[in-house]
Amino acid sequence: MLRIGMLTSGGDCQALNAALRGVYKCVVNNAKEPVEFYGFEDGYKGLIYGKFRILTGADFKGILTRGGTILGTSRCPFKTIRVPDEDGIDKVEAMKQTYYKLQLDCLVMGGGNGSTKTANLLSEEGLNVVTLPKTIDNDLWGTEMTFGFQSAVDIATTAIDQIHTTASSHGRVFIVEIMGHKVGWLPLNAGIAGGADVILLPEIPYDINKVVEAIEGRDKGGSRFTIIAVAEGAISKEDAKLSKKEYRKKLENYPYPSVSYEIADQIQKMTGREVRVTVPGHTQRGGGPNAYDRVFASRVGAEAGKLILRKEFGYMIGYKDREMVKVPLKEVAGKLKTVDPNASIIKEAKLLGISFGD
């Protein structure tokens, strides 16, 4: 008997279910012995507190196209994983106990950065772990692609597309705030796809004067409107110079809901133009996966299933040079795949006339 535990952790995204289904199909179709699947509820919490259900074929039917996660998810921050919970439970020990009590052969975890750090920790503690690269941010180190990303790019692009007509009718400056606190792959790609005039990313601190220059340049060229794609984590050159402590202090008394509103306020004061902010927010993680993500997540699932059957553990499935690869968890954990300000995509965007406010 092969016993496989499954959980999804951190922010959800499109194609998590497609990836779980891929694992299930690959294992069931190719295993030489009976297989049992244990689905842990709401991420690592399910493993810590022993909340699970046995998953059967029926659970995996019709979920290729379904958004969210059939297992539920939650955030279980890595930085407090070694801190006992309010009842004094040692979370890491509790996860190990659940794993051994159920006599699991391995654990499959679909998650992003923090969740992969915890997976690596469990692997170091002796559990057999395989992870699936999930996040709309596409910021997991060791893979060129994560599932969820392409679907989120589509949604954020549609948000920018929708703004175009109204921005043009009213001759307004529009800011569309796109998810990405630390890393800007999503705003970068949606910004280019949606024809944004200015894209502000966490990796490229902006100068508000340059942003205003771009707007005025468009005015002079006869364009009535400007669209600015702003990452949630966009940061000004001045703020980027602050120490972490100073920046935290600034945020304590911050009068705006997010950086987009601060930028809007500055532009309004500096240009006298009407500025509006649109925040598509969690719609970017919502709904079903697009075709790309369905294919990619299914391939991820099949590769993870293959590793399980070969009893190769301690890996994340990744994508490199058009091939699916296995990446040691210890290489992935704790690293971020950020946008390089000198990357060719940034240079090409600049050649197209897009301003990054730098």
Of the candidate spans 27-35, 178-186, 221-229, 350-358, the one that interacts with ligand F6P by CB under 6 A turns out to be 178-186
Binding mask 135-164 for ligand F6P (x = CB under 6 A): xxx---------------------------
Of the candidate spans 88-96, 129-137, 291-299, 337-345, the one that interacts with ligand F6P by CB under 6 A turns out to be 129-137
Q: Is 181 a residue that touches ligand F6P (CB under 6 A)?
A: yes
Q: What distances in angstroms separate CA 352 from CA 25, 102, 157, 192, 227, one per listed residue? A: 44, 57, 17, 9, 15
Closest CA to 263 of 215, 326, 218, 307: 215
By CB under 6 A, how many residues form the interface with ligand F6P?
A: 11
Q: How far, in Å, CA of 336 to CA of 352, rounded?
A: 28
Closest CA to 218 of 158, 167, 177: 167
Q: Which is nearer to ligand F6P, 134 or 273 (CB)?
A: 134
Of 59, 137, 197, 293, the active-site residue reads 137
What's the min distance (Å) between Cβ of 178 and ligand F6P? 9
SS3 178: strand
DSSP state of 210: H
SS3 174: strand
Q: How far, in Å, CA of 21 to CA of 144, rounded?
A: 22
Of these, 145, 179, 235, 307, which contacts ligand F6P (CB under 6 A)?
A: 179
Q: Is the separation of the CB atoms in 176 and 280 below 8 Å? A: yes
Which 216-235 positions form the footprint of ligand F6P (CB under 6 A)? Answer: 232
Q: Which is nearer to ligand F6P, 180 or 301 (CB)?
A: 180
Q: Is 188 a residue that touches ligand F6P (CB under 6 A)?
A: no
Q: Is the separation of the CB atoms in 132 and 142 below 8 Å? A: no
Q: Which is nearer to ligand F6P, 117 or 285 (CB)?
A: 285
Q: Is the separation of the CB atoms in 200 and 234 below 8 Å? A: yes
Binding mask 108-127 for ligand F6P (x = CB under 6 A): ----x---------------
Binding mask 284-313 for ligand F6P (x = CB under 6 A): -x----------------------------
Pairing assessment for the beta strands 323-328 and 106-111 based on DSSP bridges:
unpaired
153: alpha, beta or left? (left if phi > 0; alpha if psi -120 to 50): alpha
Q: Is 128 a residue that touches ligand F6P (CB under 6 A)?
A: no
Active site residues: 137
Which residue ranges make up the site for ligand F6P (CB under 6 A)?
Answer: 10-11, 112, 135-137, 179-181, 232, 285
